[in-house]
Structure 1
Amino acid sequence: MALARPSRRTAAAAIALVVAAAAGAAFWWLTGRDDPDRDCAGLRGDDRIRTVLGAAWRSDLPCGELADGLHHATVGDRPGSHTLEQARALRSVLSAVASRADHRVHPEVRRPLANALADYAADTHAVLTGINNLYTAHDGPGADAWQDDNGVHVAVEKSQLTSVLRGLSDDPAAYATLRAADLHQGALGLAAIGADPSGPEIEDPLARAAAPAGVFDGIADDVLRDRDGKARTAWQDAVLSGLAAPVTAVPAFATDPAGYLTQSWLRQVAAAPDRFTRLHDQAADLLSLWGDATRRDRERTGIAGLQDRARTTTDRERAETVQQFKQSSP
């Protein structure tokens, strides 16, 4: 734009200041890290969120009320029993949150949404395995939640779910809630192994336990990437405290096998000298506990070799998850 004549310089300067201010505001909106309402406003203004909240939505809805509304829309008053409408609402929420390239979720939204997702742990666990054909058939943008003889189910693309989990996991309590829910799903799979299993009957549930555990390891790696010193230790300690909080008396394997595996492993983690590092051996440890509880002949069952395969699967998923976040970083 050409320079204005001397008589118009003041006006031109004023216009330039306005333009610069607008550009700066836009840049701050896109890249800033200090606006307490930025992430909430972005989510609140998303048409998908407006549809989910329906009559409860308003343009000045506080973040806490927004979070509570999303939790109610996706879980309702009967946790663990979902309607198709609730599952569709969750699908819309996940899509809206995942569309943010920087994975940011407002602090007041993280725990309520993590609690909602934990209530769908059977679904999210299946998505994170990456090998469940039923879920991959329903994870595309044009797909829908569905219902069968086992209840209502919901799926999104694995990369979308992983992005949402990353956004929520800036809050260590949210991360602990989500990881504990997935841990229980992995334990359920191992607990369901028959009395005299063949190799594949062990390998399949073990792989389904190991892959999501690797995703959660990768999420933790990315959260900690920008933290050092006290901030890093504080997040890790808070995660461990969150995982230890629900630890109760260990039930007998015969009456509650999944509860036995879950509680026994969390107790092992709490007692380990390298507690946070111990999380990386989640699936292998669960298998070892299963072998002991069922009195398997370790050599005949090939426990050691199966543990190595579980670690390989976990390490692969961990590395792929970290790479996903590196590639999507702004």
Structure 2
Amino acid sequence: MPVRPSGRAAAAAVALVVAAAAAGAVLWWTLGRDDPDRDCAGLRRDDRIRTVLGGTWRSGLPCGELAEGLRRAAVGAGPGSHTPDGARALRAVLLAAATGPDHRVHPALRRPLAEALADYAADTHAVLTGIDDSYLAHDAPDADVWQDGRGVHVAVPKDRLVAVVRGLSEDPAAYAVLRAADLRQGAAGLGALPSGASGAALTDAVVRSASPAGVFDGIADDALRGRDAAARGVWRADALGGLAPNGDVPPFGTDPAGHLAEGWLQRGAGAPDGIAALRDQAAGLVALWAEAVRADTGRIGLPALQDRARTTTDRERVGVKEQLKQDAG
């Protein structure tokens, strides 16, 4: 007759099994989390990505080739030359990348995808503003791209775009590429205003500039969260290095957007604490616009417009930080 183990022996055996299982789980998590190909492999296996790459897809496609293939599919013939197929490719990439856990994007993918996304800055700027009806009508996961007199457009849900930009922004240089592209869009909106602009047209341009700026502020805050002091310093320095002004500010009359964007970068990114100074981006652009067109900003007044810009920016910054914390939780 088999010997039945004592209660104490049985409990010890169970504890040993539990401990072994826990150790195995910890080992799997540690090795899996540090697997250099993990995030790349997850994206590569996504059916949407396979569709985008078509005949160039293969199961062992290296991360660098995957990144270049996706960038090429989205950008196509060259920067600014968007086609419906290219916009659909970008949309598929965004929706696939947005499903990654903890906003992870493989390091080899960050810069190429950021460059592709920056080429669609007019679209991403509108999505991050969140008030353009045409984009809201086309942002559902099963929606399609569309075309009008201004060209081809693409939209995705705002929270998914934020998640992807956060993943790309783990690389501060990628963050700088995306923020610089969005900055020019905000500057272009203000630069297109007539010198006598006032009322709703003026406040609308301010909000459209300030909302995405606040999103990028929140993403920067989240990218810095959890890093030690040295790592935060490196991320800030690299991000600001990517946002450094080119040196020359073009005349407002020939390049309104460039005048405002470059002018602001000289004042903002060049400040002693450039990341903190960036939070005043929209308010700074409004002041530069008023100065360039010698506008008195009508009955609203420049201080009130700047307050509106700062309030909008801060609201978006706080909201995005909360979203990203919840996503990570």
Whether the TM-score (by the shorter chain) exceeds 0.5 is yes
CA distance in 1, matches of 2:33, 2:178: 25
Match of 1:145 in 2: 145
Q: 1:190 to 1:35 in 2, by over 3 A?
A: same
Q: 1:38 to 1:263 in 2, by over 3 A?
A: same
CA RMSD of aligned residues (A): 2.2
| Matched residue SS, 2:102 | coil
C-alpha offsets along residues 265-322 of structure 1, whole Å, 9 cap, x if unaligned?
A: 1111244222221100000000000011111236855000110011000000000000
C-alpha offsets along residues 199-241 of structure 1, whole Å, 9 cap, x if unaligned?
A: 2111001100000000000000000001121100110010110
CA distance in 2, matches of 1:233, 1:177: 19
Contact 1:272–1:278 (Cα < 8 Å) also in 2: yes
CA distance in 2, matches of 1:258, 1:133: 24
CA distance in 1, matches of 2:269, 2:283: 17
Contact 2:198–2:298 (Cα < 8 Å) also in 1: no
Match of 2:323 in 1: 324
| Matched residue SS, 2:285 | helix
C-alpha offsets along residues 152-179 of structure 1, whole Å, 9 cap, x if unaligned?
A: 0000000000000000000000000000
Match of 2:303 in 1: 304
Match of 1:253 in 2: 252
CA distance in 1, matches of 2:298, 2:22: 71
Q: Is 1:134 equivalent to 2:134 in the alignment?
A: yes
Identity fraction in percent: 62
Match of 2:294 in 1: 295
| Matched residue SS, 1:162 | helix
- Counterparts in 2 of 1:166-185, with a 5 A limit? 166-185=166-185
CA distance in 1, matches of 2:321, 2:195: 38
Runs of 4+ that moved beyond 4 A:
15-26, 298-301
C-alpha offsets along residues 77-126 of structure 1, whole Å, 9 cap, x if unaligned?
A: 22101110010011110000001131000000000000000000000000
Contact 2:195–2:295 (Cα < 8 Å) also in 1: no
Q: Is 1:158 equivalent to 2:158 in the alignment?
A: yes
CA distance in 2, matches of 1:193, 1:271: 27
CA distance in 1, matches of 2:150, 2:124: 15
Counterpart AA for 1:90 = L
CA distance in 2, matches of 1:85, 1:328: 30
- Counterparts in 2 of 1:114-125, with a 5 A limit? 114-125=114-125
Note the C-alpha offset of 1:33: 3.5
| Matched residue SS, 2:92 | helix
| Structure 1: tracts of 5 or more residues without a match | 6-14
Contact 1:98–1:161 (Cα < 8 Å) also in 2: yes
CA distance in 2, matches of 1:23, 1:46: 25
Q: 1:74 to 1:262 in 2, by over 3 A?
A: same
Match of 1:219 in 2: 219
Contact 1:214–1:313 (Cα < 8 Å) also in 2: yes
Match of 1:11 in 2: none
Contact 2:269–2:278 (Cα < 8 Å) also in 1: no
Note the C-alpha offset of 1:248: 3.8
Counterpart AA for 2:281 = Q
Match of 2:280 in 1: 281
Match of 2:192 in 1: 192
Contact 2:268–2:278 (Cα < 8 Å) also in 1: yes
Counterpart AA for 1:205 = A
Note the C-alpha offset of 1:18: 10
Question: TM-score, normalization: structure 2?
Answer: 0.91
| Structure 2: tracts of 5 or more residues without a match | 6-16
The count of corresponding residues between Structure 1 and Structure 2 is 316
Match of 1:112 in 2: 112
Contact 1:169–1:223 (Cα < 8 Å) also in 2: yes
- Counterparts in 2 of 1:22-41, with a 5 A limit? 27-28=29-30, 32-41=32-41
Q: 1:296 to 1:20 in 2, by over 3 A?
A: closer
| Matched residue SS, 1:102 | helix
Match of 1:78 in 2: 78
Contact 2:269–2:275 (Cα < 8 Å) also in 1: no
